[in-house]
Every structure is written in structure tokens, then in C-alpha cells.
């Protein structure tokens, strides 16, 4: 599969989760936090400030596949990631999305900005929003905001 990153680099990989875990590329702004079992990072393709993903390092597709250690690690990361986003974007609500049809478990922290209202409140609107964001948000001011938000989130984790 080929993916065009936020900074317009082409990433070729059989598994984006494995490539991220092996550090074969950096997401725009870098990895935010890494634990023994998971990586916290901005989305690779979608330039929305605060759009953060927790991804497993190994091939598991469901929370049901977690070991006890992974579950404990994930629960802490889930809480810490949400707190970090809240600190960086205090007035933004989040929709969390997790799909079990991928080789790597991942959960999206999807922020809700005022400009997104035109896409509606349903989860089905997220697909349209992702396409729109890929095409229209790679502007300098938005990319600076994305890096600024990512830095605030990283700083939260560094203080833990």
C-alpha cells in the first residue's frame, strides 16, 4: 500500500502499524509517546490538529486480544492521551473510534472543531471529513497549528 503523508511523502508499506513501530518513518511532528506496547502519534495522512491515534505495536485487531499487561498499559494511555488533548485543546470535544478490521489495533481521538459542523454529527460524516481534510488542510497556518498542538501533547507526556 502507498500512503501520502501530511508533508506529501510517499510511504510504501505492507503494514503501516509495523512500519511505525519499526520507526521506518516519522509521522508529521514525530511520535508523541511510546510505551512498551503502544505508540501515540498524530495521524499520518490527516492534518487535523489534535487528531491522535494510539496504535498497538503488534498485530492484534481487538481489545479482546490484549494481554493483561497490554490492557493495563492501554488503559493508562487512553486516559493520559485524552487528558493531554484536553490540555492542548481545552474547548474541543472528542469522538473516539476503533475498528476491528485492521491488523493493528488502533483508536482514533477525533477532535470536533466548529468548521466541521457541515459534515454532521454522525460517524458516517467522518469519512467525508477525512477526504476534505486531506485535500484542503495542508496549508501552512494549519500545519503550524498541528505542530503546536502536537508539541503541547508531547509536553504533557514528558511531564508524567
Alpha-helical regions (H) of 2-139: 16-21, 68-88, 124-136
Distance separating alpha carbons of residues 54 and 41, to the nearest angstrom: 7
The pLDDT of residue 68 is: 98
Listed in sequence order, the residues at least 6 apart from 17 whose beta carbon sits closer than 8 Å to its beta carbon are 55, 56, 57, 59, 102, 103, 104, 106
Sign of the alpha-carbon torsion through 148, 83, 129, 39: positive
pLDDT one-digit tens code per residue, 122-138: 888 899 999 999 999 99
pLDDT in tens, 65-103: 999 999 999 999 999 999 999 999 999 999 999 988 778
pLDDT, position 123: 85
Q: Indicate the range of 15-19, 29-33, 61-65, 83-87 predicted with least confidence.
A: 15-19
Position 99 scores a pLDDT of: 86
Residue 120: CATH number of its domain: 3.30.428.10
CA distance 42 to 65: 24
Q: Average of pLDDT values for 32-50?
A: 97
**Number of domains composing the chain:** 1
20 near 11, Cβ under 8 Å? no
Residue 32's domain comprises: 2-158
Amino acid at each position: 500500500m502507498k500512503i501520502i503523508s501530511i508533508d506529501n511523502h510517499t510511504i510504501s508499506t505492507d503494514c503501516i502499524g509495523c512500519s511505525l513501530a519499526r520507526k521506518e518513518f516519522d509521522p508529521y511532528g514525530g511520535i508523541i509517546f511510546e510505551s512498551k506496547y503502544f505508540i501515540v502519534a498524530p495521524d499520518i495522512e490527516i492534518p487535523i490538529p489534535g487528531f491522535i491515534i494510539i496504535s498497538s505495536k503488534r498485530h492484534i485487531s481487538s481489545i479482546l486480544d490484549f494481554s493483561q499487561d497490554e490492557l493495563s498499559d492501554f488503559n493508562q494511555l487512553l486516559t493520559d492521551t485524552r487528558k493531554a488533548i484536553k490540555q492542548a485543546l481545552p474547548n474541543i470535544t472528542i469522538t473516539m473510534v476503533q475498528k476491528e478490521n485492521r491488523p493493528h489495533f488502533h483508536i482514533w481521538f477525533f477532535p470536533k472543531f466548529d468548521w466541521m459542523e457541515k459534515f454532521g454529527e454522525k460517524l458516517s460524516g467522518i469519512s467525508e471529513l477525512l477526504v476534505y481534510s486531506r485535500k484542503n488542510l495542508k496549508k501552512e497556518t494549519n500545519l503550524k497549528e498541528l505542530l503546536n498542538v502536537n508539541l503541547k501533547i508531547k509536553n504533557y507526556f514528558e511531564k508524567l
